[in-house]
């Protein structure tokens, strides 16, 4: 079971979840609010803001060759219209570090978090949000020309649902969340299209990562599924038509009955996020993304929250086998990025561990898990998925 030589192998992270002390972001404000319902704040997180070189080195030494990371709008534009040259230089050094280690950088422009001033002044429900985001993108264009791919807005379907959620208390899973805010949906799509135009001026392929929930219908519930899925994922996939690629991120599936969605079955194996263990989700999402957009497909996130690293390998092996089968059936899949390189802050708690690398909360010492070497071996061709 082999993949093309040009296949992209790597891992992903998001700035707020690993950097630490992102004090100007809307999520930081939510975390430290005395009325917060979140289990814990992000605090220092994994301190990857200062330790990114070690993280990139570990990725490279494993055999992986691509690193998807996000640049943090709240650091780059901490107050409206005032851009930090020091922070732009910080992310430029991250790109330099990737290239020095033979790692290809893939850059996300927005991964759930926004500057506090932006959120407090209407956020994505404000019509000014489109031009505000475009202004930020214009300022970061000099960082992007050495990336292989750029992602505009991470999981816009989940982001639009978060806006309707009660202070972020809901799970970040479309099957259990309120419908997306329709105004935010409109603005996110418009902002994406503006960003695509801008990024193309530096000659880098650009798209966005959508998170299908792999809705599947009981007999007789097919129309319920279509109506339920359209505002939660289909409209965002349709908005990618004309982009350079479609990225997909999937972890589980959601059953739709005539009465709507159901939670994971009681008797199913569940991950630390409470999601059903279902490795085939990512292959189904990749097929869905291709069928709607007709674009080449990149898996920009896929993984499992578990304390059992052997089970992480099991999940990833079965996910890759399912993806390989889709490729043999004609799916133009060109890469797989694992979520996540590091255990990280999962939007309210450090408990759900997705990482290929663990770290000590006191010393920040990194400990690569067996899964990192295993996935690197798959990328190198020294580990077979047939085993």
Strands, E assignment, the chain: 8-12, 66-70, 104-110, 149-153, 206-207, 209-210, 215-217, 246-249, 254-257, 260-262, 297-301, 333-339, 357-359, 366-368
Please state, in angstroms and rounded to a whole number, the distance separating the CA atoms of residues 152 and 140: 12
* Whole-number average pLDDT of the chain: 96
Q: Are 150 and 205 in contact (CB under 8 A)?
A: yes
Backbone angles phi and psi of 203, in degrees to 5: 75, 30
Q: Which of 319, 149, 179 is nearest to 250 (CA)?
A: 319
- Residues tagged active-site: 155
pLDDT for 383 beyond 50:
yes
Residue 362 DSSP code: T
Residue 203 tokens read as 């000659």
Output the pLDDT for position 172: 55
Residue 37 tokens read as 């319902």
Please state, in angstroms and rounded to a whole number, the distance separating the CA atoms of residues 254 and 25: 31
Chain Cα centroid distance, residue 238? 19
DSSP string, 252-317: --EEEETTEEEPPPTTS-B-TTS-B--TTHHHHHHHHHHHHH---EEEEE-----S-HHHHHHHHH
Q: What angle in degrees, to the nearest 10, is found between the helix axes of 309-328 and 370-380? A: 20
- Pairing mode of beta strands 254-257, 260-262: antiparallel
Residue 379 tokens read as 């990328």
SS3 10: strand
Q: Which residues contact 121 (CB under 8 A, 6 or more apart)?
A: 80, 128
pLDDT for 325 beyond 60:
yes
Per-residue model confidence as pLDDT tens digits over 136-189: 999 999 999 999 999 999 999 999 999 877 444 445 555 667 889 999 999 999
Output the pLDDT for position 175: 63
Whole-model pTM: value is: 0.97
Give mean pLDDT, residues 339-361: 98
Per-residue model confidence as pLDDT tens digits over 98-129: 999 999 999 999 999 999 999 999 999 999 99
Per-residue model confidence as pLDDT tens digits over 194-229: 999 999 999 999 999 999 999 999 999 999 999 999
Q: Which of 243, 4, 195, 10 is nearest to 106 (CA)?
A: 10
Residue-level length of the chain? 387
- Pairing mode of beta strands 8-12, 66-70: parallel
Give mean pLDDT, residues 334-362: 98
Output the pLDDT for position 31: 96
Over pLDDT 70: what percentage of the chain?
A: 97
Strand partners, 242: none
Output the pLDDT for position 169: 45
The dihedral formed by the CA atoms of 38, 351, 61 and 4, expressed in degrees to the nearest 10: -80
Only one residue has tokens 């960082």, namely 143
Per-residue model confidence as pLDDT tens digits over 31-40: 999 999 899 9
The dihedral formed by the CA atoms of 43, 47, 49 and 53, expressed in degrees to the nearest 10: -170
Give mean pLDDT, residues 50-78: 98
CATH placement of domain 8-209+297-380:
3.20.20.80
Residue 347 tokens read as 């939007």
Residue 134 tokens read as 């475009």
Only one residue has tokens 């991470």, namely 154
């Amino acid at each position: 079971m082999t993949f093309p030589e040009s296949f992209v192998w790597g891992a992903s992270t998001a700035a707020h979840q690993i950097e630490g002390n992102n004090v100007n972001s809307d999520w930081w404000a939510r975390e430290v609010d005395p009325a917060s319902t979140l289990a814990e704040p992000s605090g220092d997180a994994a301190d990857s803001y200062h330790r990114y070189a070690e993280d990139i080195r570990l990725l490279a030494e494993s055999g992986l060759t691509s690193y998807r990371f996000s640049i943090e709008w709240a650091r780059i534009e901490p107050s409206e219209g005032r851009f930090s040259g020091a922070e732009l230089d910080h992310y430029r050094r991250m790109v330099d570090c990737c290239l020095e280690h033979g790692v290809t950088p893939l850059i996300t422009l927005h991964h759930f978090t926004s500057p506090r001033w932006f959120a407090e002044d209407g956020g994505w429900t404000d019509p000014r949000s489109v031009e505000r985001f475009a202004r930020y993108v214009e300022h970061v264009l000099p960082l992007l020309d050495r990336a292989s791919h750029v992602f505009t807005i991470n999981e816009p379907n989940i982001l639009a649902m978060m806006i309707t959620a009660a202070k972020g208390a809901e799970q970040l899973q479309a099957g259990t969340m309120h419908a997306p805010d329709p105004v935010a949906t409109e603005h996110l799509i418009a902002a994406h299209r503006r960003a695509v135009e801008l990024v193309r001026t530096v000659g880098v392929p650009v798209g966005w990562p959508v998170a299908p929930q792999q809705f599947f219908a009981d007999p007789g519930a097919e129309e319920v599924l279509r109506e339920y899925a359209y505002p939660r994922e289909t409209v965002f996939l349709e908005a990618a038509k004309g982009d350079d690629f479609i990225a997909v991120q999937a972890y589980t599936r959601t059953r739709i009955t005539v009465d709507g969605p159901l939670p994971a079955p009681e008797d199913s194996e569940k991950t630390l996020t409470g999601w059903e263990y279902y490795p085939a989700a990512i292959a189904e999402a990749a097929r869905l993304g291709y069928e709607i957009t007709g674009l080449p497909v990149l898996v920009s996130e896929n993984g499992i929250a578990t304390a059992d690293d052997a089970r992480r390998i099991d999940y990833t092996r079965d996910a890759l086998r399912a993806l390989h089968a889709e490729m043999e059936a004609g799916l133009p899949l060109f890469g797989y990025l694992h979520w996540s390189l590091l255990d990280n802050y999962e939007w309210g708690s450090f408990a759900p561990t997705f990482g290929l690398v663990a770290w000590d909360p006191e010393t920040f010492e990194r400990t690569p898990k067996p899964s990192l070497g295993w996935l690197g071996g798959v990328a190198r061709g020294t580990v077979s998925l047939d085993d």
